């Protein structure tokens, strides 16, 4: 079962029949460790269950505990597919690795990131040294075997 979702905003309207809500002004959505902040957010539900969030802002920000931080001009969160699509100066930092591009797609389950460029905006990926595969570096580190027996 999903964790409960709470939304706060300066103004909001939820249409039960349509199963959608529109929230404006300092919108904050919280679901467990996942937090979304936006200027405007549209929520879509089916049978009372949240299935999709579309957010826009300058920028929209999202964080999930310490593991994931993201921001972009637009964010679409598909709750059932557990995917995020960030567009417009998209930036995502996951476990210390950062991805930037015009569009970044992220799967919350497989932790897979797909970044794509647009026009002259290239994709950029930064992997900090400590996240690289151990054994690739030839420098001594505390985990390696002592060289002198």
109-127 pLDDT tens trace = 888 888 887 777 777 877 7
pTM over 0.85: no
Q: Quick one: CA dihedral 30, 84, 78, 56, positive or negative?
A: positive
Give the pLDDT of residue 146: 52
Query: 64 vs 145, which has greater pLDDT?
Result: 64
pLDDT tens-digit map of 2-18: 678 899 999 999 998 88
Please give the pLDDT value at position 19. 92
Confidence band for 27, pLDDT divided at 50, 70 and 90: very high
The string of pLDDT tens digits covering residues 43-83 is 999 988 889 999 999 999 999 888 889 999 999 999 889 89
The owner of tokens 């931080």 is: 69
Phi, psi of 59 (to 5 degrees): -100, 180
The per-residue pLDDT for 61 is 97
Cross-strand partners of 99: 92, 125
Average pLDDT (32-53) is 93
Q: Which residue has the tokens 């999202």?
A: 62
């Amino acid at each position: 079962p999903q964790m409960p979702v709470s939304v706060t905003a300066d103004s909001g309207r939820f249409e039960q029949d349509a199963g959608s809500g529109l929230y404006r002004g300092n919108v904050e959505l919280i679901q467990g460790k996942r937090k979304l902040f936006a200027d405007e957010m549209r929520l879509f539900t089916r049978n009372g269950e949240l299935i999709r969030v579309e957010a826009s802002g300058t920028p929209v920000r999202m964080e999930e505990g310490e593991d994931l931080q993201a921001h972009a001009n637009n964010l679409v969160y598909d709750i059932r597919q557990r995917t995020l699509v960030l567009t417009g100066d998209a930036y995502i930092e996951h476990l210390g690795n950062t991805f930037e591009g015009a569009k970044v797609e992220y799967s919350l389950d497989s932790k897979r990131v797909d970044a794509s460029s647009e026009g002259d905006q290239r994709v950029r990926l930064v992997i900090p040294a400590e996240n690289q595969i151990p054994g690739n570096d030839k420098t001594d580190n505390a985990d390696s075997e002592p060289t002198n027996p």
